[in-house]
Chains A and B, each alone.
Chain A
Amino acid sequence: MEVTIEKQYPVAAAMPAAWAVLSDMHALATCMPGAQITEDVDATHFMGSVRVKVGPAVAAFAGTIEILALDAASHTLKMLGKGADKGGSSASMELTAQLLPGEGGHCVLAGHAAVIVNGKFAQFGGRMMNSVSDMILAQFAEVFSQKAQALQASQAAPVDHSAAPHVAADGATAAPATAPAVSAPVVATEFNALGLVWALIKNFFAGLFGKKSGT
């Protein structure tokens, strides 16, 4: 099962902060809910894991990440992630992520991902692959944006609470920003697949009635 995704996500921070997150594999990995780096093999090779929770069941994917290219000049990361769980599913993703200048001093995260899934996920979840990948990437981009924003805020004013009203004025991001912007965003330690399914169903119906889905 092969899916290619090409998407752009707005990042609520300027280029330097966003690049700082993108170029730090530890920071980047934790943008994925339930994911973490378990071991640094060398500068470009890492071992990682992702925990996926579907109701009461938890699946743990263990795998490797290889940085194929990291270009500060073009703000581009190229990486290859591979993983498998004990229950008979495996996945690989070749990702090219680039930061592009955006509006209002912010930037945009442009991603091109080729995802291959094998095993049970590919058998049973085949028809959902595109939507699921979209949702996962949207969540990832959301956390990424928050992290970059938090990093930018902490660099600008290490203990400055005045950042909060500034963000709140932004309207769309008012709700999450009511918490002190300096604290790192709360990232779930497990990827909640039931929540994802619910979001998928919501988007499906929204699509039927002509509304734009969240992505």
Chain B
Amino acid sequence: MNAPLSDREKVLMGMGDARLRKEDARFIQGKGNYVDDIKLPGMVHMDIVRASVAHARIKRINKEAALKIPGVIAVLTADDLKPLKLHWMPTLAGDVQAVLADEKVHFQMQEVAVVIAEDRYSAADGVEAVEVEYEELEAVVDPFEALKPGAPVLREDLAGKTEGAHGKRYHHNHIFTWEAGDKAATDAVFAGAAVTVSQDMHYPRVHPCPLETCGAVASFDPIRGELTTYLTSQAPHIVRTVVSMLSGIPESKVRIVSPDIGGGFGNKVPIYPGYVCAIVASIVLGRPVKWVEDRIENLSSTGFARDYHMTGELAATADGKILALRTNVIADHGAFDACADPSKFPAGMFHICTGSYDIANAYCKVDGVYTNKAPGGVAYRCSFRVTEAVYLVERMVDVLAQKLGMDKAEIRAKNFIKREQFPYHSALGFDYDSGDYQTALDKVLDAVDYKGLRAEQAAKRADPNCPTLMGIGLVTFTEVVGAGPSKICDILGVGMFDSCEIRVHPTGSALARMGTISQGQGHQTTYAQIIATELGISSEIIQVEEGDTSNAPYGLGTYGSRSTPVAGAAIAMAARKIHAKAKKIAAHLMEVSEADLEWEIDRFKVRGDDAKFKTMTQIAWAAYNSPPPGLEPGLEAVHYYDPPNFTFPFGIYLCVVDIDKGTGETKIRRFYALDDCGTRINPMIIEGQIHGGLTEGFAVAMGQLLSFDKQGNIQGNSLMDYFLPTAVETPHWETDHTVTPSPHHPIGAKGVAESPHVGSIPTFTSAMVDAFAHLGVTHFNMPHTAYRVWQQLKKSGMNT
């Protein structure tokens, strides 16, 4: 039992170990269990009739032909849901959304009716046979048009309501105004500043596009009055609460199961009409009902991301010290405000937009607007609206540097929040936990030979025969993740804590159950590593379960990089409760005082005597079979963790692009990503998450776009148009890290999976614009497709 310490540590495969993903064995063998894999006896299928136009009154829905199709069981419309009061449902943002279009359609592909049939084919045939007659209305797809005085009224159900969930509505298509910071003080600084810059930019509408689309299998047992629903949800416990509130079924009789999930990226946070209809259909029919949407439905109707029209402004001294930031945003939320944000923050954490910089004065204002587009505004691989905020500030710092003729790296270094300034209170109200930006920046600039790159760029610019434009992008970003402290963060009134229950079995293995749900993050691997280090049990014999509300403790789910910052902390705290009890048992077993014991990897030993110890395995057996007198048997604990603050991961990203002057094709020559996520739990999983996030960032910056024509027809809602990079298009990634632990987190971890998405997008734009900077270009909007870049080349006289 006295193996060397390093061997004992290795066996644990605890924190810091690049342990292989436990999930992969089943995934690579095709043995995952996704919603569409679930088949229940007597199960029927649902398909959705969707609006062909973006804005119209429904004159008539004729079900007759559909009902005649063999296999079709029922066709449900809003009128059928009305008696149950389920034709409208609340959204996460305090608005209401039509479950099935009630008299009016508000966006193309909106849910109008559902067809339930014995098999999937009959359901699809039924959908084709349902006749819907529309009286078309003028569609509004531009939020600026929507706010004009004579604009069509989109939400007639809100007629006369001048007060929304987030305060005053000043126009019939206006949703909310949200502000942060001191406007008067900021305006005063701008009025007296030596240098000011302003830039309009549009962060276009994109979609997370997880490989697995959304779906549900709802099964209501009419005898027991119990409802079980398998669902593609990133937050199953909140879904259970909402389903119970809507249906009137007690929460104890509602079971929501999120099985394996094929990617979420924020798309699987909201509650969609398809889920509700499947549940209603199951209750009405008393049979299990399956609904799984196709790719086009997923891209057209479920939660989109971004669509922020932003104006950024900076005020600075002549030598580049930033004095103030001001920003104004028109946020296109689509037809219903179904944005997924903590209730009190209709623009999410957008007020992180002062970034990594010490900016004394700031003011930001966001106006939400209705348009005839799909609802959403989900956090696509980012904490709520943090991607937009980081994009804004990083673009603005570049614009300022250009105006002053300063280098991008130099202006950033000049304005960084210094290491000794942490904890740092930002002008817009955040308390940054920790950071060391300068060390990280120096590391990246050295690694890529920044000076050499700039020299190469200067030489290429001087050579009129050079076939390419070379651009260097640099971003030094800070995120805010891990929502969040329940005194300010809640969803539908439920505080944003998270939870963990750990049971250590008599033979020393353990089971942990969590309120979160992995969608590819590798929780079964990494959570076990935290317990392994905390309790000295090998992660190989620690089972992690999550996603089933009937056996997991209540939690708010996985999104906004909150699993490690919040649930990871809950794990450590639950483990520490067990640790404390184990210590009592160890002291009892060795007949010494607790004060004489010290913890060493997997055991308590008597201080200074390596021969006298009890391993956690021995303690576990004793906990059940010979506990100390007065101590209850068993070795388990539950912890609900309400974080005292957010965490603030950061990164320094650098990108080099070469743009073909003739075709506009861009080659990503180099991408160097340094991330600091605090304490690192599994370096291999971090690497994988960063690769994934960078690839999604590349997708957004270089190709993804949900566009609409003037009539509200969605253009490009299939993978023929919507850019999903494969190994063919994806550039090579170089990764690096520094470690600046979070002082308030039990293990110092900050969360990582979203940083590469948030940080890389402005880096690509920074590089693309940099390629044109010597021609006086300060900004152009994403996506940087070859065609759009070619147009920019023409405009700049580079291609005639």
- Name B129's closest neighbour in chain A (CB-CB): A86
B716 at the interface (CB under 8 A from A): yes
Q: Are B53's CB and A119's CB within 8 A?
A: yes
Q: Which of B52, B709, B716 is close to A88, meaning CB atoms less than 8 Å apart? A: B52
Known: A90-B52, A118-B52. A2 touches B710 (CB 8 A): yes
Chain A residues contacting B54 (CB-CB under 8 Å) are 118
Main secondary structure of the interface of B (DSSP, over half): loop
Q: Are B52's CB and A120's CB within 8 A?
A: yes
Q: Are B53's CB and A126's CB within 8 A?
A: no
Q: Are B716's CB and A118's CB within 8 A?
A: no
- Name B711's closest neighbour in chain A (CB-CB): A118
Tell me the chain B residues, 295-322 only, with Cβ under 8 Å from chain A. 296, 300
Q: Which of B131, B709, B714 is close to A86, meaning CB atoms less than 8 Å apart? A: B131
Chain A residues contacting B296 (CB-CB under 8 Å) are 123
Q: Which of A2, A86, A87, A123 is close to B108, meaning CB atoms less than 8 Å apart? A: A123
B718 at the interface (CB under 8 A from A): yes
Q: Which of A86, A87, A122 is close to B713, meaning CB atoms less than 8 Å apart? A: A122
Tell me the chain B residues, 702-720 only, with Cβ under 8 Å from chain A. 709-711, 713-718
- Name B62's closest neighbour in chain A (CB-CB): A86
Q: Which of A1, A90, A120 is close to B709, meaning CB atoms less than 8 Å apart? A: A1
Chain B residues contacting A120 (CB-CB under 8 Å) are 52
Q: Are A123's CB and B128's CB within 8 A?
A: no
Contact with B along A113-147 (1 / 0, CB 8 A): 00011111011101000000000000000000000
How many whole Å from A130's CB to the nearest CB in chain B? 13
Chain B residues contacting A116 (CB-CB under 8 Å) are 711
Q: Are A123's CB and B713's CB within 8 A?
A: yes
Which one of B136, B709, B717, B718 has the highest number of Cβ atoms from chain A below 10 Å of its Cβ?
A: B709
Known: A89-B52, A119-B53. A1 touches B711 (CB 8 A): yes
Tell me the chain B residues, 537-594 only, with Cβ under 8 Å from chain A. none
Q: Are A124's CB and B711's CB within 8 A?
A: no
Tell me how many residues of A have a C-beta within 8 Å of chain B: 16
Q: Are A122's CB and B711's CB within 8 A?
A: yes
Main secondary structure of the interface of A (DSSP, over half): mixed
Chain B residues contacting A126 (CB-CB under 8 Å) are 709, 713, 715-716
Contact with B along A53-96 (1 / 0, CB 8 A): 00000000000000000000000000000000011111000000
> With A and B bound together, what is the CA distance between A2 and B714 in angstroms?
13
Chain A residues contacting B714 (CB-CB under 8 Å) are 123
> With A and B bound together, what is the CA distance between A126 and B296 in angstroms?
15
Q: Are B53's CB and A124's CB within 8 A?
A: no
Tell me the chain B residues, 101-155 only, with Cβ under 8 Å from chain A. 108, 128, 131-132, 136
How many whole Å from A159's CB to the nearest CB in chain B? 49
> With A and B bound together, what is the CA distance between A46 and B132 in angstroms?
23
Which one of B50, B715, B717 has the highest number of Cβ atoms from chain A below 10 Å of its Cβ?
A: B715
- Name A116's closest neighbour in chain B (CB-CB): B711
Chain B residues contacting A1 (CB-CB under 8 Å) are 709, 711, 713, 715
How many whole Å from B157's CB to the nearest CB in chain A? 23
How many whole Å from A155's CB to the nearest CB in chain B? 43
Tell me the chain A residues, 1-22 only, with Cβ under 8 Å from chain B. 1-2
Q: Are B131's CB and A122's CB within 8 A?
A: no
Known: A2-B709, A126-B709. A118 touches B128 (CB 8 A): no
Which one of B128, B711, B716 has the highest number of Cβ atoms from chain A below 10 Å of its Cβ?
A: B711
Chain B residues contacting A86 (CB-CB under 8 Å) are 128, 131
Contact with A along B148-167 (1 / 0, CB 8 A): 00000000000000000000
Chain A residues contacting B718 (CB-CB under 8 Å) are 124
Chain B residues contacting A88 (CB-CB under 8 Å) are 50, 52, 132
Chain A residues contacting B300 (CB-CB under 8 Å) are 123
How many whole Å from A108's CB to the nearest CB in chain B? 32
Chain A residues contacting B717 (CB-CB under 8 Å) are 123
Tell me the chain B residues, 691-729 only, with Cβ under 8 Å from chain A. 709-711, 713-718
Give me 18 A-to-B residue pairs in the complex whose CB atoms sit less than 8 angstroms apart, sorted by A's number.
A1-B709, A1-B711, A2-B711, A86-B128, A86-B131, A88-B52, A90-B53, A118-B53, A118-B136, A119-B53, A119-B108, A120-B52, A122-B711, A122-B713, A123-B296, A123-B300, A126-B713, A126-B715
Additional A-B contact list (13), CB under 8 Å, known A1-B715, A88-B52, A123-B713 = A1-B711, A2-B709, A90-B136, A117-B713, A118-B52, A118-B53, A118-B108, A118-B136, A119-B53, A119-B713, A122-B711, A123-B300, A126-B713
Give the interface of A toward B (CB within 8 A).
1-2, 86-90, 116-120, 122-124, 126
